[in-house]
Amino acid sequence: MAVILDGKTVAQKIKDEIRDEVSRIRSAGGRVPHLAAVLVGDDGASQTYVAGKVKACEYVGFRSTLKKFDAGISEEKLLSVVKELNDDAGTDGYIVQLPLPGHISSQKVVENINPVKDVDGFHPVNVGRMVKNLPSYISATPFGVLKLLEYYKVPTAGKDCVIIGRSDIVGTPLSILLSRKAEPGNCTVTLCHSRTRDIASFSRKADIVVAALGQPEFLRGSMIKEGAVVIDVGITRVPDPASPKGYVLKGDAKFDEIEPRAGYITPVPGGVGVMTIAALLWNTLLAAQRKIYS
């Protein structure tokens, strides 16, 4: 029976800490942090995420602004919105929700965000600073994984960690964060991907397995060793006519097979995913307090 790494509890604790800090700022006559979000098009998952972010801002007492555009907005117009947000002294941080429609280059948009306001931590300057161990915004999902390991005091130093999936917003940054000289960290990390021969031969030896490939229930019970720590980063909407929403959320790990064998496991939903909004709020507070770029 594995210990459940409960993201809801940890996210709530972080949000409450932020809320207390906002109260202190307000009572001292300061300006409350302001987060803006840019949403393009009507993708259901993106709308849900952004609505969650706005609601979380209300909870902690941040000011928030939502800028919505239809899917036909030109790249040029979107870049002018980004410029306005860069120039607006009243906005501490902002995000452009991804994915963007195919005619817009996400890379170009992200590269035009002022790194100082890039609370998603997606800009190459923030990624580079993270790699060089300089103060930077850590993007939401890697942040969520680190905070869960920290809260539950999961030992990481000297452990063998296998990360499955090399995306530039999860697997790749997490491989750097978990191998750096820090706590949590100090792991010996192996990054597995679509060209890895026999992923199970790596995952079976690992003390910590992070499944971050976006393939529902890829990681099976037989692919981990007894007592392993399993971090499930996947959240895929799998169609299910029997469910009221028409879909169910599935992780990248097959929970019912893994839970009896693992030492620790994150549930889906309620694990890493719920931590991501807390991460964004945390980064916005750092932005407002000029803690990363002074």
Applying CB under 6 A, does 11 fall inside the site for ligand GUN? no
Return the number of the residue (50 or 208) whose C-beta is nearest ligand GUN.
50
**C-alpha 167 chain-centroid distance:** 12
Binding segment for ligand GUN among 78-86, 94-102, 244-252, 260-268 (CB under 6 A)?
A: 94-102
Binds ligand GUN (CB under 6 A): choice among 85, 95, 104, 235: 95
Beta bridge partners of 265: 4, 230
Tokens of 227: 């007592």
Binding mask 117-156 for ligand GUN (x = CB under 6 A): ---x-------------------x----------------
Return the number of the residue (57 or 229) whose C-beta is nearest ligand GUN.
57
Look at the block and give the residue holding tokens 């879909």. 247
Beta strands in 150-217 (DSSP E): 160-164, 188-192, 208-211
**In the range 163-182, which residues lie near ligand GUN by CB under 6 A?**
none
Cα separation, 179 vs 157, in Å, equals 9
Q: Return the C-alpha torsion angle 32, 38, 44, 49, nearest 10.
A: -30
Binds ligand GUN (CB under 6 A): choice among 60, 73, 96, 119: 96
Minimum CB separation from ligand GUN for residue 170, in Å?
10
Q: Active-site residues: which are they? A: 53, 97, 120
How many CB atoms sit inside 10 A of residue 207's CB?
A: 20
DSSP type of residue 223: G
Residues that bind ligand GUN (CB under 6 A): 95-98, 120, 140, 276
